[in-house]
Amino acid sequence: MKFDQYRIAEGIKTSISKLGFKKPTDIQFKSIPPILKGEDVLAIAQTGTGKTAAFAIPVLHILQENKIKGRPDGVKCLVMAPTHELAQQIEYVFKSLGRHTRITTFCIHGGVDQEPQIKQLNSGVDVLIATPGRMFDLVSQGALSLKRVEILILDEADHMLDLGFIKDIRDLMKHLPRKRQTLFFSATIDDKIKDLAYSLVINPIRIQISPKDPVAKNIDHAVAFVEMDDKRFFLESLLKSSPDKKILVFVRTKVRAERVKKAMERVQLISDTIHSDKLQVERERTMHNFRNGDLKVLIATDISARGIDIPNVEFVVNYDLPETSENYVHRVGRTGRGNQKGQAVSFCSEEEKEMLEQIENNLGKPIQKMKITKKDYQITLDLSEEKVNDWRTLMDEAEDHHPKNKKAATRRKKKKKKS
């Protein structure tokens, strides 16, 4: 079945066509009809399968139809998301698909001034995408009313629980009408998620897209055994061999992200970072540049793994293996979105082999191993433009450049002069 065969508003079909979508993905094919009928839906599907469009398309149609009927103003659909980046991505999808409708979509989250958000809410919003903290702030101030919400959507519910938002979700119910349609989307399902889901939905249609391999079939992923101190040389080599590709690099910590960026600068490679220490305006600017292709290399921490849904990410690099095996699937799922092909490579050091084993157990099969001969390994090191080969010196230098450590670095230099 093609999208033009669905009974949805022509404006939405126009947007779908302009975006180049012809046939729905599995999760879209199974979710759209029951949502259009007003059913509650509990959907479990892996990352990169088109979940956002699976609920955005039918919800936009429902709201457009109701708007034509002259329903009263107010937020009609509330979408809850765990992170700023994911909330902004959902807003982007709603706006792209709803461009030729009369539906207004707006996103609120913390880290920015709330006054412009309140002003926009007062001017009228149909679809509100929100992170829990900012939403409750505005509700408690009386700046946001949820009394007219007809559709509640919880996206990436498993990640929200990981971040400790379960109490916020339960508190949210006190502010919503009892009579509503609830859509619950998650990448994984366990007893905790099941209990929460069934406390929110009524006789839901349960949809589960769970292929044997949690990593999408259009993603080629492999692991390369690289010593911790040598990872920067291999990243340098990969980036220089793929200058025109959009590449997403995952690291374990915020400090490490900045160190890797500095290491790439030393070999004349431009990149940027995104993590929770960055100001919201910086994060938005970086994401904008990466989305439109002005920035080719983005270095991110796991907090951003689910929020980064950027078109045409051709390569994912796990510079460090993730701290949990589940995050591996979310990371590599940032490439090969929808029907596109993608590649991912993980650098695994000796001390990370235990985590690799856990990841492979979670996947249910081994990850393809890249064969690197001793000669090729040495060539990669020799070809680096990095002039300083002492890793400890580089680490100290990166520490000194980190804002929090500049004062300490200055004190160390003064102490040396005195002695």
Of the residues 180, 209, 238, which one is the last residue of a structural domain?
Answer: 209
Answer yes or no: are the C-beta atoms of 61 and 36 closer than 8 Å.
Answer: yes
Same domain? For 247 and 302 the reply is: yes
Q: Give the total number of structural domains in the chain.
A: 2
Q: Are strands 297-300 and 272-274 parallel, antiparallel or unpaired?
A: parallel
Both tokens assigned to 58: 């039918």
Q: Give tens-digit pLDDT for 368-403.
A: 999 999 999 999 999 998 754 455 555 555 554 454
Residue 49 domain boundaries = 3-209
Query: Residue 304: phi, psi to the nearest 5?
Result: -100, -5
Q: What percent of the chain has pLDDT over 90?
A: 57
| CA gyration radius, the chain | 23
Locate all alpha helices (DSSP H) within 8-111, ordered by sequence. Answer: 10-18, 26-36, 51-68, 84-97
Burial string for 75-84 (b: 16+ CB within 10 Å, else e) reads bbbbbbbbbb
Q: Which alpha helices (DSSP H) does 175-222 contain, by range?
A: 191-200
Residue 230 lies in a domain: yes
Residues 36 and 87 occupy one common structural domain: yes
Q: Average pLDDT, whole number, for the chain?
A: 86
* Dist. CA 280–CA 352, nearest whole Å: 32
Report yes or no on 282 lying in a domain: yes
pLDDT for the residue numbered 418: 44
Residue 233 sits in the same domain as residue 165 = no
- Mark whether 139 and 185 lie in a shared domain: yes
Question: What percentage of the chain's residues is helix, strand, coil (to nearest 5)?
Answer: 45, 15, 35
CA 258/CA 271 separation, integer angstroms: 10
Same domain, 295 and 186: no
**CA end-to-end span of the chain, whole Å?**
78
Give a yes or no: residue 51 inside a domain: yes
Query: Does 281 fall in a domain?
Result: yes
Domain-embedded: residue 13: yes
**Residue appearing with tokens 């209990």:** 195
Give all strands (DSSP E) within 280-379, no chain letters.
297-300, 315-318, 342-348, 368-369
As beta bridge partners, residue 209 has 45
Q: Looking at 109-189, which runs of residues are DSSP E strands?
A: 127-130, 151-154, 181-186
CA distance 275 to 272: 10
Give the per-residue pLDDT at 211. Answer: 61
**Exposure of 271 by Cβ count < 10 A (0-12 exposed, 13-18 middle, 19+ buried)?**
buried
Looking at 189, 209, 229, the residue that finishes a domain is 209
For the packed helices 280-292 and 84-97, what is the interaxial angle rounded to 10 degrees? 50
Claim to verify: residue 152 and residue 253 sit in the same structural domain? no
Q: How many residues are recorded in the chain?
A: 419
Question: What is the CATH classification number for the domain harbouring 187?
Answer: 3.40.50.300
Tens digit of each residue's pLDDT, the chain (419 residues): 789 889 999 999 999 999 888 899 889 999 999 999 999 999 988 766 788 999 999 999 999 998 876 666 789 999 999 888 889 889 999 999 999 999 999 999 988 899 999 999 999 999 999 998 899 999 999 999 999 999 999 998 887 877 678 888 888 888 999 999 999 998 777 788 888 888 889 999 999 886 666 787 889 999 999 999 999 999 999 999 999 999 999 999 999 999 999 999 999 999 999 988 888 889 889 988 998 899 999 999 887 655 566 778 999 999 999 988 878 888 898 888 767 889 999 999 999 999 999 999 988 899 999 999 999 999 999 999 875 445 555 555 555 445 454 455 445 444 444 43
Same domain, 223 and 204: no
Are 244 and 162 in the same domain?
no
pLDDT value, residue 1: 78
Contacts of 416 (CB under 8 A, 6+ apart): none
* Tens digits of residue pLDDT in 91-112: 999 999 999 999 999 999 988 8
195 shares its domain with 223: no
Whole-Å CA distances, 353 to 224, 227, 288:
11, 11, 35
